[in-house]
Amino acid sequence: MKVTEHIEKAGGKTLFSFEVVPPQKGKNIQDLYDNIDPLMEFRPPFIDVTTSREEFVYIEREGLLDRRIVRMRPGTVGICASIKHKYQVDTVPHVLCGGFTREETEYMLVDCHYLGIENVMALRGDAMKHQRYFEPATGGHTYANELVRQIKDITRGKYLHDTVEAANKPDFCIGVAGYPEKHLEAPSLDYDLKKLQEKVDAGADYIVTQMFFDNKRFFEFVERAKAMGINVPIIPGLKPIAVKRHLQLLPQVFKIDMPEDLIRAVEQCKTNKEVRQVGVEWCIQQSKELKEAGVPVLHYYSMGKSDNIKAVASAVF
Ligand code: FAD
């Protein structure tokens, strides 16, 4: 079922969902299931599976270092199929512009269709670590709105080689990213919102936001998006702070602000166990307020660890 159908079916009740990251190549998929298992009691209607950008690895060969570009966490579509089968839940593979040609994207979408995956999250991806700015793959997309257009084309039977008339066309529900504190490269929030609107105009069905720690930023973002005519569901993305280092790391990576009260509470902690407790409590308060405001879904970034998400969900759902 589509994410938007789950939202409609819920009739105003806030749903619970979360995102998982594929294991590193060669690592055990059981670890992923072990993190999903404790969250299934909160009945997520869908689970997102991220796609990672490729990265450089150095392989030693006869005393020389050979530099290779490798995708260290492959398997997004396979994991989506396996979670769907194992837990009888819908899954949302993240589809990236970065590192993929249009053909490769088309093959991935065809696989999704054959596997009965009805939702995809269309994203540009970040620049690779050695790049200052994002560079598309040769023959790939530069911005997420182009990717949305390609996905939408396929739902109309329009493939790269030709238009195909078939009875059972893929009918993807398309999610895109939104940024309550603006995307780090955008010159202003208004500019970023216009680009978000382009993604919706191209065919996006819903929006999931970047993490934020101040609900005011989310509420203002939703208000401004609606004023611009963006009328698709906007799902808040949340992450509980887990270690002291997050105070510097999260603003650095995502260009987001931390509220003063949260900074003070984390700084007073003597151990990361205490930080984790502060993070969980903060996230519970955020979740309760958002739920009260009637958000369609509370979407959690699990980052491979489910215990703190479980603690939050237990208090909220
Ligand atoms: P876009 O919408 O293309 O926007 C990128 C930037 O370009 C913005 O600053 C925007 O304002 C600007 N822009 C957009 N269109 C145009 C245009 N036509 N002309 C000029 N400027 C334009 N990353 C991963 O690698 N894997 C994941 O699985 C993943 N999952 C994510 C899930 C969520 C919910 C979110 C919020 C982010 C996720 N990301 C993921 C990170 C995301 O890939 C990065 O934030 C990336 O830098 C931007 O992606 P986007 O889809 O928002 O890009």
256-265: pLDDT as tens digits: 999 999 999 9
Measured by CA distance, the residue closest to atom 9 of ligand 1 is 186
pLDDT band at 63 (very low <50, low <70, confident <90, very high): confident
What is the pLDDT averaged over residues 149-158?
97
What is residue 138's predicted lDDT score, i.e. its pLDDT? 95
Average pLDDT over the chain, rounded to an integer = 96
What is the pLDDT averaged over residues 111-116?
98
pLDDT band at 56 (very low <50, low <70, confident <90, very high): confident
What is residue 123's predicted lDDT score, i.e. its pLDDT? 98
What is residue 130's predicted lDDT score, i.e. its pLDDT? 84
What is the pLDDT averaged over residues 64-87?
93
Q: How many CA atoms lie within 13 A of 34 on its CB side?
A: 7
Q: Which residues pair with 20 in a beta bridge?
A: 49
pLDDT band at 67 (very low <50, low <70, confident <90, very high): confident
Our answer on whether the CB atom of 144 is closer than 6 Å to any ligand 1 atom is yes
Does domain 3-240+295-316 fall under CATH 3.20.20.220? My reply is yes
pLDDT band at 62 (very low <50, low <70, confident <90, very high): confident
Ligand 1 geometric centre to CA of 288 (Å)? 28
Measured by CA distance, the residue closest to atom 32 of ligand 1 is 177
Q: What is the pLDDT of residues 176-228, one digit of tens each?
A: 999 999 999 999 999 999 999 999 999 999 999 999 999 999 999 999 999 99
pLDDT band at 42 (very low <50, low <70, confident <90, very high): very high
Q: Which residues pair with 299 in a beta bridge?
A: 17, 237
In the chain, the largest separation of any two C-alpha atoms, in whole Å, equals: 64
Which stretches of 2-139 are DSSP H helices? 3-10, 30-36, 76-87, 102-114
Q: How far apart are CA 157 and CA 284, in angstroms?
A: 44
pTM beyond 0.95, yes or no: yes
Q: What is the pLDDT of residues 225-256, one digit of tens each?
A: 999 999 999 999 999 999 999 999 999 999 99
Can you tell me which atom of ligand 1 is nearest the CA of 196?
2
What is residue 288's predicted lDDT score, i.e. its pLDDT? 98
Q: How far apart are CA 117 and CA 112, in angstroms?
A: 5
What is residue 69's predicted lDDT score, i.e. its pLDDT? 84
Pocket mutation for ligand 1, best pick of 20, 79, 124 (most atoms within 8 Å of C-beta): 124
pLDDT band at 26 (very low <50, low <70, confident <90, very high): very high
Can you tell me which atom of ligand 1 is nearest the CA of 209?
36
Percent composition of the chain: helix, strand, coil (DSSP 3-state, to 5) = 40, 20, 40
Q: What is the pLDDT of residues 193-207, one digit of tens each?
A: 999 999 999 999 999
Can you tell me which atom of ligand 1 is nearest the CA of 191?
11
Q: Classify burial at 88, counting beta carbons within 10 Å of its beta carbon; exposed 0-12, middle 13-18, buried 19 or more.
A: exposed
Pocket mutation for ligand 1, best pick of 195, 209, 299, 301 (most atoms within 8 Å of C-beta): 195
Q: CB–CB of 148/122 below 8 Å?
A: yes
Our answer on whether the CB atom of 303 is closer than 6 Å to any ligand 1 atom is no
Our answer on whether the CB atom of 237 is closer than 6 Å to any ligand 1 atom is yes
Our answer on whether the CB atom of 183 is closer than 6 Å to any ligand 1 atom is yes
Strands 15-20, 234-238: parallel, antiparallel or unpaired by DSSP? unpaired
Q: Classify burial at 182, counting beta carbons within 10 Å of its beta carbon; exposed 0-12, middle 13-18, buried 19 or more.
A: buried
182 phi-psi bin (left φ>0, alpha ψ -120 to 50, beta other): left
What is residue 57's predicted lDDT score, i.e. its pLDDT? 83
Our answer on whether the CB atom of 83 is closer than 6 Å to any ligand 1 atom is no
Percent of the chain with pLDDT over 90: 90
Asked if pLDDT for residue 312 goes beyond 80, the answer is yes
Asked if pLDDT for residue 129 goes beyond 90, the answer is no
pLDDT band at 55 (very low <50, low <70, confident <90, very high): confident
What is residue 77's predicted lDDT score, i.e. its pLDDT? 98
Our answer on whether the CB atom of 91 is closer than 6 Å to any ligand 1 atom is no
Three-class secondary structure of residue 113 per DSSP: helix
Closest CA to 283 of 304, 307, 267: 307
Residue type, 183: H
Say which residues have a Cβ less than 8 Å from residue 123's Cβ, sequence separation at least 6: 51, 94, 95, 96, 97, 144, 147, 176, 177
